[in-house]
Structure 1
Amino acid sequence: MSSDDYSSQDDLRKMLAEIYERGQARKKLRDVGAPQIGIFWVVDGKPLVFGDPLVEAEPWGEFKNYKEDHIHLWKFLQRNRIVPRDTEYEDYPRGRVVYNTKTDTFMFFADRCILKDKPMVEHLLAELHLPSTTTTESDPHYKCKNCGARAER
């Protein structure tokens, strides 16, 4: 083996150690109930929630946002047979939580089908450890096929 191989292996070990440490830090924040930004669906009445602590959020204008989008995450979930393979990401009620850096407020945007189900909203807010000051709003971007069908009638 050349010294370059050792250097590359050392770099790889360092990188893997850093990834592991970041993962452990993220887990600790979740475990202590740190508020999270994220995305979610309600699939057949069951919440499917993906979030990260605010410190992991990506800047997006005046907001802090979750790193994944619904489209790509849904494809991953389909490949891993977590959701039905013959459905689209927008077939089910969904939403997103962002953090507004100007107002220091978490914002919970969701499909109207979710917002009218108060116990589900409370569950999602609790799962993401969101404070009572979180605003909840509908957003025309988050409209499942059931909401779309009602709107067309």
Structure 2
Amino acid sequence: MSKIGVFWFFDGEVLGEKTQLSEAQQSLPGLLDSDATHVAVWEKYGNFTDSSPILAHYDYQDIPRGRVLYQLRKQRFIVYLDKALISKEVKSAIAEYFGFTPHQADWKSDLHYTTDMEAIAQLLED
């Protein structure tokens, strides 16, 4: 069963929290979203240190991350993610984690999820 939610990609592994589509909310008309936030999920799972103890030294925004939503009209997923994650291998891992194929999703980089320090500095200057 396909799901939506928030995620990080660290050391070849997808970490995150998944929400069933039946439990999702329409954040905007026609767009299913989970109520999970990166901050809350990071804290809930203790920085995912069970998966990798080194993550204890990182904050949630230091690791490339993103969010999976579902478009009701198109019947497709939409994945917003750090541009550092846009590769065939990473897309496949994210899609597998959430239970769909990469071809069932629209993939979009989003500055909201960037870990690029130059891009962050530029955002803060604007």
TM-score, normalising length: structure 2: 0.78
1:111 is the counterpart of 2:79: no
Judged with a 3 Å threshold, the aligned counterparts in structure 2 of structure 1 residues 151 and 74 are, in CA distance, closer, same or farther, namely closer
Task: Confirm whether residue 68 of structure 1 aligns to residue 33 of structure 2.
Answer: no
For structure 2, the 5+ residue unaligned runs are: none
Corresponding residue SS for 1:67: coil
Secondary structure at the counterpart of residue 44 of structure 2: helix
> How far apart in 2 are the matches of 1:65 and 1:152?
29
Q: Do the aligned partners of residues 91 and 79 (structure 1) sit closer, same or farther apart at CA in structure 2, a change above 3 Å counting?
A: closer
Q: Which has the higher contact order (CA 8 A, sep 6+)?
A: 2
CA separation of 1:150/1:69 partners in 2, compared to 1, >3 Å: closer, same or farther?
closer
Task: Indicate the residue corresponding to 2:96 in structure 1.
Answer: 126
Following superposition, the deviation at residue 140 of structure 1 comes to 1.1
5 Å matches for 1:132-151? 132-144=103-115, 147-149=116-118
The 1-side partners of 2:107 and 2:64 are apart by 15
How many angstroms apart in 2 are the aligned matches of 1:52 and 1:87? Answer: 25
Q: Residue 121 of structure 1: SS of its match in structure 2?
A: helix
Q: Which amino acid aligns with 1:58?
A: Q
Query: Residue 141 of structure 1 aligns to a residue in which SS?
Result: helix
Higher radius of gyration, 1 or 2: 1
Task: Write 1 or 2 for the structure with the bigger share of strand.
Answer: 2
| Alpha-carbon separation, structure 1, partners of 2:121 and 2:38 | 24
Residues 141 and 107 (structure 1), Cα distance of their counterparts in 2 relative to 1, 3 Å cut: same
Determine the C-alpha separation between the residues in 2 that align with 1:95 and 1:106. 13
Instruction: Give the structure 2 partner of residue 38 of structure 1.
Output: 5
Q: Measure, in 2, the Cα distance between the counterparts of 1:133 and 1:79.
A: 29
For 1:79 and 1:151, the matched residues in 2 are separated by 22
Q: How many residues align?
A: 117
Cα shift at 1:80: 7.0
Query: Is the contact between residue 111 and residue 119 of structure 2 (CA under 8 Å) also seen in structure 1?
Result: no
> How far apart, CA to CA, are the structure 2 residues paired with 1:48 and 1:77?
10
State the one-letter code of the partner of 2:4. I
Structure 1 stretches of 4+ with a deviation exceeding 6 A read none
